């Protein structure tokens, strides 16, 4: 099934400002990011179907009588947009090698065309973002739909609201997106908790009662990123202050070996559930948004970035390696040995009774250490986006 690269792609990551900035704290960062970027390029080629120009929902490791292999499963418009954003950080020739003759802009425009008929606010927002940043296109129809969704008062996923703000910021050079920026940023501001944590949905009352107080790691980092970028564009100090507060809260709660935990309590900012620890949080999402924050004038969290990146090598929860050179993938997460999502449900219920209340012995009952042998294209797209500079901002 593998769409193999004609030849390996090498990226001189040490020339990229984010890599060199992190290397000031940890000299091993360039070599580690070099390995990860090479894997991301290989993995995105594997996840890509050149016949349909689509990206899989996931690439999964499977065993059979013939041994271990990987298979593509499903397709995802969201992940295609994220992959396009990441691949845009490669040269045009490198993009064509991964995409069988196409470029990241080709993928972004295809995604934008498909998203016109989508009812998923997240797909619409990501498509508009990719069209603006990768293809220099003002996806007017998508942006109008985003504005209507944000101002409708209907519930919306927190990540989709954040992506709407980022899309509007990225599209601002190509057309008037000020009303969407104002509406999306106001929505995030309205639902930021007292300890700078966001719920999973806006408003949280649209969730089941036992989950209304819970927000995931993704629910924190995408608003953080959107507000930092919005602050740089608009000069609104409250946006940067809000982004700084959320970033500081996440960094204060970071695990002892760099883990970015999974679920947080909107009411007091505490951790609801630690696991799974997702590889993409460690190598891509946290670096992406914390680099963005610093570059937009916010606090410097490079120590937390490098600590999180180190977890990919140290991961005390398991002896199994998460970085698969064999398949050119990074395995998705380390979770608990448990019935499906049992600890998540228990954590939501107990903290619903009282913030900070946890079932005693949960780590003994459901120990962490189970590796999920799948890798999703967005994880690798964000890895490239997190560490590599836009092509027009470097010399290669």
Range of the domain at 90: 13-393
* Cβ atoms of residues 59 and 73 within 8 Å: yes
288: tokens are 């992406």
- What letter would DSSP give residue 393? G
Rounded CA gap, 241 and 54, in Å? 38
Q: Is 372 within the bounds of a domain?
A: yes
CB 117 within 8 A of CB 103: no
- Domains in the chain: how many in total? 1
Tell me, what's the pLDDT at 348?
66
d(CA 368, CA 244): 31
* Residue 335 in domain: yes
In a domain, 361, yes or no: yes
Angle between helices 104-115 and 77-87 (to 10 degrees): 150
What the block records as the tokens of 44 is 């995105």
* 381, 44 contact by CB (below 8 A): yes
pLDDT at 344: 67
Residue 168, in any domain of the structure: yes
Give the CATH number, domain containing residue 35. 1.50.10.10
Give the residues across from 253 on adjacent strands.
Answer: none
Separation of first and last alpha carbons in the chain: 32
Residue 223 falls inside a structural domain: yes
At residue 311, the pLDDT reads: 98
Sheet of strand 271-273, all strands in order from the earlier edge strand to the far edge: 214-216, 263-265, 271-273
Radius of gyration of the chain (CA): 20
What residues in the chain have per-residue pLDDT under 70?
Answer: 1-4, 6, 338, 342-344, 347-348, 353, 357, 359, 394-396
Whether 8 is covered by a domain: the verdict is no
| Cβ contacts of 38 within 8 Å, gap of 6 or more | 8, 9, 10, 11, 328
Is residue 77 a part of any domain in this protein? Answer: yes
Contact 239, 185 (CB under 8 A): yes
3-class DSSP state of 110: helix
**What's the pLDDT score for residue 245?**
99
Do the domain assignments include residue 6? no
């Amino acid at each position: 099934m593998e769409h193999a690269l004609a030849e390996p792609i090498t990226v001189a990551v040490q020339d990229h400002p984010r890599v060199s900035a992190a290397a000031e704290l940890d000299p091993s960062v360039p070599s580690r990011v070099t390995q990860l970027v090479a894997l991301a390029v290989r993995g995105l080629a594997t996840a890509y179907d050149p016949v349909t120009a689509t990206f899989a929902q996931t690439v999964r490791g499977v065993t059979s009588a013939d041994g271990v292999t990987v298979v593509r499963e499903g397709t995802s418009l969201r992940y295609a947009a994220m992959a396009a954003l990441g691949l845009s950080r490669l040269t045009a020739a490198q993009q064509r090698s991964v995409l069988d003759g196409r470029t990241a802009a080709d993928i972004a425009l295809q995604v934008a065309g498909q998203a016109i008929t989508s009812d998923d606010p997240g797909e619409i927002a990501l498509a508009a973002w990719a069209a603006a940043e990768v293809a220099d296109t003002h996806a007017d129809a998508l942006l109008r739909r985003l504005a209507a969704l944000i101002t409708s008062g209907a519930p919306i996923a927190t990540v989709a609201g954040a992506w709407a703000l980022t899309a509007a910021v990225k599209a601002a050079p190509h057309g008037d997106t000020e009303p969407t920026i104002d509406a999306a940023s106001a929505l995030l501001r309205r639902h930021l908790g007292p300890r700078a944590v966001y719920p999973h949905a806006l408003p949280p009352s649209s969730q089941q009662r036992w989950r209304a107080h819970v927000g995931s790691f993704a629910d924190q980092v995408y608003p953080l990123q959107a507000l930092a970028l919005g602050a740089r564009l608009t000069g609104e100090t409250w946006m940067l202050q809000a982004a700084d507060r959320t970033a500081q809260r996440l960094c204060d709660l970071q695990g002892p070996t760099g883990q970015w935990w999974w679920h947080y309590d909107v009411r007091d900012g505490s951790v609801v559930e630690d696991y799974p620890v997702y590889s993409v949080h460690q190598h891509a999402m946290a670096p992406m948004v914390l680099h963005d924050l610093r570059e937009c004038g916010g606090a410097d969290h490079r120590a937390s970035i490098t600590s999180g990146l180190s977890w990919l090598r140290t991961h005390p929860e398991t002896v199994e390696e998460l970085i698969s050179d064999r398949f050119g993938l990074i395995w998705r997460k380390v979770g608990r040995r448990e019935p499906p999502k049992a600890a998540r449900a228990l954590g939501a219920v107990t903290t619903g009774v009282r913030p900070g209340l946890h079932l005693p012995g949960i780590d003994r009952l459901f120990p962490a250490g189970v590796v999920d042998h799948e890798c999703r294209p967005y994880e690798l797209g964000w890895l490239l986006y997190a560490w590599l500079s836009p092509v027009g901002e470097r010399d290669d």
